[in-house]
Structure 1
Amino acid sequence: MMDWVMGAYGGIKAATDITQSMLTLKTDAAVTTKVVELNGVLLGLQGQLNSAHAEHTALTSRIRDLEAEVTQFKNWEEEKERYQLHQFQTGTLAYRIKPMMHGSEPPHDLCANCYQSGVKSILQACEDGWYKALKCHRCNSLIRTEKIPDTGPTFITVDRDQSGCF
């Protein structure tokens, strides 16, 4: 960025020098030559200023993007504090909202995989064979939470996806 500043100052100095030398000229041909030279310096200066403006615009945009990322990161850090790691009977893990943190929200669990990626994905209840389970519809993780007691045959006529989750 300093290159364009130095170039701009150099261009301004050259334009000033040419203007000063024009004052001492006595013939029209000499004046015309200096005017052409001045125009060239001014056009070069204009190009440098345009480049500086484009660089400034790009840097401003990058700063805005980074500030948005920092804000998102801070918000996620605050949101993460509302959850704690929970281990189910089967040994599987999910992040469960702390009882004193859920306010008006119902108690719920988050996918550990998505949580580690900085995404809040609420798990949905389902069944997987002989187990009650939770499914993440974002990453398709299936978390078996407890074994279903054997109560004899049950017939279900509802369409289910491949994991047994509705």
Structure 2
Amino acid sequence: MANLTLHLDSQANSANLRLATTQGVGMLAELSAALGSLKAMSDIVKGLNASFTEAKLNEVKLDFQRALIEATQALANAQASEAAAAARIRDLEDQIVKLKDWSAEKERYALHDIGRGAFAYVPKLGMENAEPPHWLCVNCFDHGRKSALQNKGNGVGNRTIAERGLDKTFACNHCSASIQVSWNNNPVSDRNAMEKKARAPQGSD
């Protein structure tokens, strides 16, 4: 009996140490419940004496088992809460990293008029990072993602064949947004025009 008392006291002290080092209101409440149950178990054993009847001993056993179950459940709940909190922290840390990465990445781009009233995000001169010339979808870019516009060929709509030959359609495979540009315009020619304009003396056409 003395060994059982010492074991329960040791469990209570261990639970008390976890309570002191665990953060969060929910986890503290669950560990407090576990500590209370362990102390109750310790008090049950300390109250035992040699004059107990069989019926009384059975009653104490049931109380002991009930307190043990409550303590085990409370500790399990505390561990689950701790694991959930740790997962949430990792998720938030990942989101912060992604936001920082996107913040740096979007600084490489500028909104650019590519003709015919169409706009796209293009890499700023000197910030291409060895990437080939490309146009990014405005809608996707404004929602925090990069999606290159793809050349879909001649324009569509109620135009004649000759009229359709005067423009090309570029579309986003992610959001299906599309733009129409002159038949001879594309990311490569647009980049060349930007570089030529940058090299030209100020004030020249």
- Normalising by structure 1, we get a TM-score of 0.78
CA contact (8 A) 1:99 1:107 kept: no
Do residues 137 (structure 1) and 138 (structure 2) align?
no
Taking the aligned partners of 2:118 and 2:99, their CA distance within structure 1 comes to: 27
* 1:26 paired residue number: 51
Do residues 10 (structure 1) and 36 (structure 2) align?
yes
* 1:68 paired residue number: 94
* 1:47 paired residue number: 73
Note the residue ranges of structure 1 that are not aligned, 5 or more in a row: 149-166
Amino acid in structure 1 at the alignment position of 2:177 = S
1:37-65 Cα distance to aligned partner (Å, 9 max, x none): 11210111111112222222222222222
Cα displacement (A) at 1:75: 1.5
After the TM superposition, which of the residue ranges 123-132 and 80-89 deviates more from structure 2?
123-132
* 2:133 paired residue number: 107
CA RMSD of aligned residues (A): 2.0
- Normalising by structure 2, we get a TM-score of 0.64
Note the residue ranges of structure 2 that are not aligned, 5 or more in a row: 1-25, 156-163, 185-205
Q: Write 1 or 2 for the structure with the bigger share of helix.
A: 2
Alignment match of 1:87 (pick from 92, 105, 113): 113
1:16-57 Cα distance to aligned partner (Å, 9 max, x none): 2112112x3423523443232112101111111122222222
CA contact (8 A) 1:133 1:144 kept: yes
Do residues 127 (structure 1) and 154 (structure 2) align?
yes
Cα displacement (A) at 1:114: 0.7
Taking the aligned partners of 2:38 and 2:129, their CA distance within structure 1 comes to: 64
Q: Secondary structure at the match of 1:96?
A: strand
After TM superposition, what 4+ stretches of structure 1 lie above 6 angstroms from structure 2? Answer: none
CA contact (8 A) 1:11 1:42 kept: yes
Taking the aligned partners of 2:40 and 2:136, their CA distance within structure 1 comes to: 66
Alignment length (residue pairs):
147
Q: Secondary structure at the match of 1:100?
A: coil
Q: Secondary structure at the match of 2:111?
A: strand
Taking the aligned partners of 2:81 and 2:113, their CA distance within structure 1 comes to: 52
After the TM superposition, which of the residue ranges 58-67 and 3-12 deviates more from structure 2?
58-67
After the TM superposition, which of the residue ranges 89-98 and 47-56 deviates more from structure 2?
47-56
1:77-135 Cα distance to aligned partner (Å, 9 max, x none): 11111111101222221100112111321121100011111111011233312323422
Taking the aligned partners of 1:145 and 1:9, their CA distance within structure 2 comes to: 72
